[in-house]
């Protein structure tokens, strides 16, 4: 009878250890799956951020080009309105273009 109780106790200890080991393996697997999900979400977030940055760059470039075109139009308009003053203008076209670039950059970058 005592031997049978020892055997039952031993069996229950072995069963408890097996449950603990199974729980540990299950926990490791859950952790592995969670880590993989995090990596996938990070990859997706980075891709979305890159796409958003590209769209923003395109918008800024379009806006910059539009401002340059508008400034060039205003320069031509002013030149046409005062042709004699255009001959005496203190700045050449390259200087004006650089100024237009600086203004457009400040308007689009918030600098």
- Alpha-carbon distance of 34 to 31, in angstroms, equals 5
Tell me the C-alpha to C-alpha distance, in Å, between residue 103 and each of 38, 56, 100: 43, 19, 5
Name the residue ranges covered by the structural domains of the chain.
2-109
User: What mean pLDDT value characterizes the chain?
Assistant: 86
Rg (CA), the chain: 37
Instruction: Over range 67-83, report the average pLDDT.
Output: 83
Per residue in 2-21, pLDDT tens?
A: 677 777 777 788 999 999 99
Amino acid 3: pLDDT: 74
Per residue in 46-70, pLDDT tens?
A: 999 999 999 999 999 999 999 999 9
Residue with tokens 């030149």: 79
Which are the contacts of 60, defined by CB distance < 8 A and separation ≥ 6?
A: 108, 109
pTM of the entire predicted model = 0.51
Q: Which two tokens stand for residue 106?
A: 């400040």
Amino acid 82: pLDDT: 67
């Amino acid at each position: 009878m005592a031997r049978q109780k020892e055997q039952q106790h031993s069996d229950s200890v072995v069963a408890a250890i097996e449950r603990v080991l199974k729980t540990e393996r299950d926990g490791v697997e859950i952790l592995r799956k969670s880590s993989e999900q995090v990596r996938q979400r990070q990859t997706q977030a980075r891709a979305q951020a890159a796409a958003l940055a590209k769209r923003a760059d395109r918008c800024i470039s379009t806006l910059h080009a539009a401002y340059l075109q508008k400034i060039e139009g205003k320069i031509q308009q002013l030149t046409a309105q005062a042709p004699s003053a255009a001959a005496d203008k203190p700045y050449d076209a390259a200087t004006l273009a650089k100024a237009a670039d600086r203004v457009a950059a400040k308007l689009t970058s918030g600098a």
